[in-house]
Amino acid sequence: MSHSHNTAIAEGVLTPRTVSRKHKRRVVRSCALLLAPLSVGLAACSGGSDGSSLASAPYDATDAVAVNADADSKDVDPDKALEVTAQHGDTLTDIFASDASGHVVQGELSEDGKHWRSTGPLAADARYTLKVSTENDEGAPGRRTVHFRTKGVSKHLSVKLGPDNGTYGVGQPLTAKLGRAIKKPAQRELVERALKVKSTPHVDGSWHWVNSKELHYRPRSYWPAHASITLRSSLEGLKVRKGLYGGKTESVRMRTGDRIEAITDASSLVMRVKKNGKTIRSIPVTTGKSGYETRNGIKVILTKEPYVRMTSASIGAGDFYDLGVHWATRLTNSGEYVHGAPWSVASQGVSNTSHGCTGMSSSNAKWFFDHVRQGDIVQHVNTAGDRMAPFGNGFGDWNLGWKKWRAGSAVNTKPVGSGPADAARLRPSV
């Protein structure tokens, strides 16, 4: 088969997604003998004195194709659908539209092959290439290519991804904070699908809408130790709703360290620190006394602060204190810490005497401070306090069961919950 014939077939025959059934039958009939031996195929389909159109180069279909986006235009309205119409008896056989990043615009071709309309949204302030293939009444292939740019918009949906780049503990959730409230299910689904998470090794996870402006992402159980996780957004330029388009977002690259878990039993008053499943230190502690009980449940280390001043005035406690606290590892926004408490060494391992924090000797607090990082797990069991809230007071995400967590995803098309708010006062405690 001649080279010119191969070119005509490769460029002129259509993909099933864009060819009408009537036209598809016509194309198949015109080259039915291509499956025959080579000599027969040449007799049936190659160019010759009869001027067979399949062997000819595609003609310029500029006059045969109307597009509602002018060639080289820089102000195409992204809110309007892209439309292509065949003229002068031609038929549309294939449409391919994509932006400079390779995102393909989905669309539908009419049954008669005369009209195509985009069904997927155009991005704002984006460069597009539209490639149109046609066929005239004689079966000759035509081509038209149009380049254009959509206009920018004044309203963007900003997205702040977290945490910052770096190494974290295996309990660290990923976060996405939105600049505007997103409430409608379809808009939430669009935003959520644009937030891409990749981990090595691979683990399945899910987003959960904390509220209309914040999402958290976590696996079913903790991240693997020494994993690499990337979070990026493909929301830039995408239409979220009328007049609102996704803005540019910086990606996040996170690694996890060893699996560190500190499990504190308020009944035995011992904290067991485990590294990759093996206990590496047992520490006598004191936790919250009556009226100031430490919260039960799983907490994620938020920050490490070498020195914090804690006062009774900040929590309205009846017994006065004003203390400088060393080696303070924060667990909640409301002021629950693991820290050095040299004044309560006699009670550590014996009784609960603190105002909600987990106190230990200065040497143990320094050791703990040096061996944990942001994102590591601290779990309290057997306290008389309330359960750590999933949201609103730090990262209590792991206290929500997997079924309920996934129900907070818009992609799973289940009811979106906001999670209970923590009623604790925002204060440091000792």
CA atoms within 13 A on the CB side of 11: 23
Sequence-distant (≥ 6) Cβ neighbours of residue 386 within 8 angstroms:
293, 295, 296
Strand order from edge to edge, sheet including 228-233: 166-168, 252-256, 228-233, 195-200
Which among 108, 124, 105 has a CA at the least distance from the CA of 116? Answer: 108
Sequence-distant (≥ 6) Cβ neighbours of residue 26 within 8 angstroms:
139
DSSP state of 388: P
Which among 72, 67, 73 has a CA at the least distance from the CA of 92? Answer: 67
Rounded distance, CA 139 to CA 61, Å? Answer: 13
State phi, psi for 192 to the nearest 5 degrees.
-65, -40
* Residues with catalytic function: 339, 357
Under 8 Å between Cβ of 402 and 411: no
With H, G, I as helix, E, B as strand and everything else as coil, classify residue 107.
strand
State phi, psi for 275 to the nearest 5 degrees.
-120, 115
- Helix (DSSP H) and strand (DSSP E) numbers for the chain: 6, 28
